[in-house]
């Protein structure tokens, strides 16, 4: 499968614990996005990478959240000191970049449950 992959698919954690999610984009896609989706809502943008550079962060991304894309390939999203309000689906998308229209392709998501 050459699509966007995310791991783990599900994560259950206790409040106060740290969690890390991984996203592997489509090969040669130099743009990578993270979104968050809570129940009954559409996905909301969190952050964006062009290669290894993080170029935009949403105000939704509090200080407890950090994202990296160290070699411009896979990306990680870490949440420190999780809270129950962090329970959501975390979605990763990638796009080729550098074209007039730049279609984003999404992974299956990581569902986080904070107890």
Partner 1 sequence: DAKTTQPTSMDCAEGRAANLPCNHSTISGNEYVYWYRQIHSQGPQYIIHGLKNNETNEMASLIITEDRKSSTLILPHATLRDTAVYYCIGLTGGTSYGKLTFGQGTILTVHP
> Is residue 41 exposed (0-12), middle (13-18) or buried (19+ Cβ within 10 Å)?
exposed
Selected from 29, 33, 65, 75, the binder of partner 1 by CB under 8 A is: 33
Residue 8: cis peptide before it, omega within 30 degrees of 0: yes
The verdict on 25 binding partner 1 (CB under 8 A) reads: no
Q: Which of 21, 48, 112, 114: binder of partner 1 (CB under 8 A)?
A: 48
3-class SS at 50?
strand
Q: Is residue 101 a contact residue for partner 1 (CB under 8 A)?
A: yes
Of 4, 19, 67, 114, the one binding partner 1 by CB under 8 A: 4
Q: Report which DSSP code applies to 85.
A: G
Tokens at 75, concatenated: 């990306």
Which lies closer to partner 1 via its Cβ, residue 40 or residue 70?
40
Nearer to partner 1, 47 or 82 (CB): 47
């Amino acid at each position: 499968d050459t699509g966007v992959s995310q791991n783990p698919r599900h994560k259950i954690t206790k409040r106060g614990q740290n969690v890390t999610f991984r996203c592997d984009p489509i090969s040669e896609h130099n743009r990578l996005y993270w979104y968050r989706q809570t129940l009954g809502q559409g996905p909301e943008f969190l952050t964006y990478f062009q290669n290894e550079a993080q170029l935009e962060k949403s105000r939704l991304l509090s200080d407890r959240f950090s994202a990296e894309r160290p070699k411009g390939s896979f990306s990680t999203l870490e949440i420190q000191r999780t809270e129950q309000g962090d329970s959501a689906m975390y979605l990763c998308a990638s796009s080729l970049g550098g074209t007039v229209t730049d279609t984003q392709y999404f992974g299956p998501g990581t569902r986080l449950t904070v107890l």
